[in-house]
Structure 1
Amino acid sequence: MSYGDPNNPYGQPPQQPPPAPGYGYPQQAPPGVPPQQGYGYPQQPAYPGYPGGNMMQQSMPGLLVTARVFLFLISAVQILSAIGFLYGAAVANDVSDSADEFGFNSAGDFGDAAAGIFVVFALICAALATLSITLGVKFSRGGQGVRITTVIYGALGGVFGLIYLFIGLDSGLATAVIGPLIWVVFAVIITMAPVVPSGTAWFNRPRY
């Protein structure tokens, strides 16, 4: 028998062909090419903070949440003030009409002027209320523009609050001090919340 005979027990065994890649086995990559994950192997999960991963959503800092609530409270006061000024304008207009009817022209002119001043104050309060609400709403998605506007708005509110606080202290009335003091506290928190490191990081965070 020859060594090539398959029935020869002393010959070399026939070479088996290489197994074909089957289901669940990755293909062999050529030299120099990194192996790829084959069918049947799960992809590695992506981790937060890495490219392709799910970014963990940040939460608004507590001081900014407080400032946001204060902005909404201030807007409510400003809306009520606008309504009060409009009511005063209506009363002044009625007084002016009655004075003109009875021939008191000077009183009628004074009533018209008072009604106009009340309307101007009502419009200012309505504009400030709109600004307060807009800033509070924009805290969740706003950037540097909202941050700078909030700081300026809070600082100006604090200046006017201090003026009224000094006036209340000079009057000696406790009721004239409480309101301006609360206003100053609100203004300080609204001004400082976007400036502290947590507030600055919130407005500088990446948005997707």
Structure 2
Amino acid sequence: MSFGDPNNPYGQPQGGQPGYGYPQQAPQGVPQQGYGYPQAPPVQPGYGFPGAPVEMPGGVKAARVMLWVVAAFQIIGAIIAFAGMSAVSDAVDNAGTTAADTETIENFGKGILAFVAVLALIFAGLSVALALKMKSGGNATRVCTIVYGAFICLGGIFQLPLGIVTIALGVLIIVFVAKSDGAAWFQRPRA
């Protein structure tokens, strides 16, 4: 075996085989890479470890706006339910009957509408509280918002066909808050 044989594994290395052996010098204008793994891409401000997002992500901002819209819908629904209570009384008065059963039915109808109105106001208050807490809230705010979005979807089922808008808003709130950038926003370290 001679040293000049290119197939001899024990011979002297022939010419420069790029990428074999010790690291080669990088061409001029290309930054020097370390030995082994390639260099990591630069970290965006606020999104890298151990930093945190410095600005609320767009999806979380959109979810907050949707929470305000849902609160407005809930308040409108409560107003309609309270107005329906007087409509029940007017309907019973116009019926002209004075039976005890009619009064029981009137009270039952008013009670159901009052329950729906109060429930709508509670959900509106919860929506406002979650929207206000989005800026400074932690992971518990994220979890509560996801659960609230599920309840919005469930409530929208009972309001069909107009509830389709409510269902869409609930699904979008869940998706925007559950995305990875939303999770990073809510799990960021606080000062």
**Whole-Å Cα distance in 2 between the matches of residues 108 and 56 of structure 1?**
61
Tell me: CA distance 1:104–1:198, structure 2 relative to 1, closer, same or farther (3 Å). same
TM-score (norm 1): 0.60
Tell me: CA distance 1:144–1:76, structure 2 relative to 1, closer, same or farther (3 Å). same
Specify the alignment match of 1:134 in structure 2: 129
Counterpart of 2:57 (choices 58, 61, 67) is 61
Specify the alignment match of 2:81 in structure 1: 85
**Whole-Å Cα distance in 2 between the matches of residues 78 and 156 of structure 1?**
13
Count of residues paired in the alignment: 143
Shift of 1:180: 3.2
Shift of 1:95: 5.1
1:156-175 equivalent positions in 2, closer than 5 A: 156-161=151-156, 163=157
**Whole-Å Cα distance in 2 between the matches of residues 103 and 187 of structure 1?**
45
**Whole-Å Cα distance in 2 between the matches of residues 66 and 56 of structure 1?**
20
TM-score (norm 2): 0.65
1:1-208 equivalent positions in 2, closer than 5 A: 58-93=54-89, 98=93, 103-161=98-156, 163=157, 176=161, 179-208=162-191
**Whole-Å Cα distance in 1 between the matches of residues 53 and 146 of structure 2?**
25
Contact 2:74 2:124 in 1 (8 A): yes
Contact 2:52 2:188 in 1 (8 A): no
User: Which runs of structure 1 show a deviation greater than 6 angstroms over 4 or more consecutive aligned residues?
Assistant: none
User: Could you tell which deviates more after superposition, 124-133 or 85-94?
Assistant: 85-94
The aligned amino acid for 1:132 is S
Shift of 1:94: 5.2
Identity %: 30
**Greater RCO (Cα-Cα under 8 Å, separation 6 or more):** 2
Shift of 1:155: 2.1
Contact 2:60 2:176 in 1 (8 A): yes
Tell me: CA distance 1:65–1:108, structure 2 relative to 1, closer, same or farther (3 Å). same
The aligned amino acid for 1:191 is I
5+ long unaligned stretches in structure 2: 1-44
- RMSD after superposition: 2.9
Looking at CA atoms only, which structure, 1 or 2, has the larger radius of gyration? Answer: 1
Tell me: CA distance 1:109–1:164, structure 2 relative to 1, closer, same or farther (3 Å). closer
Tell me: CA distance 1:159–1:122, structure 2 relative to 1, closer, same or farther (3 Å). closer
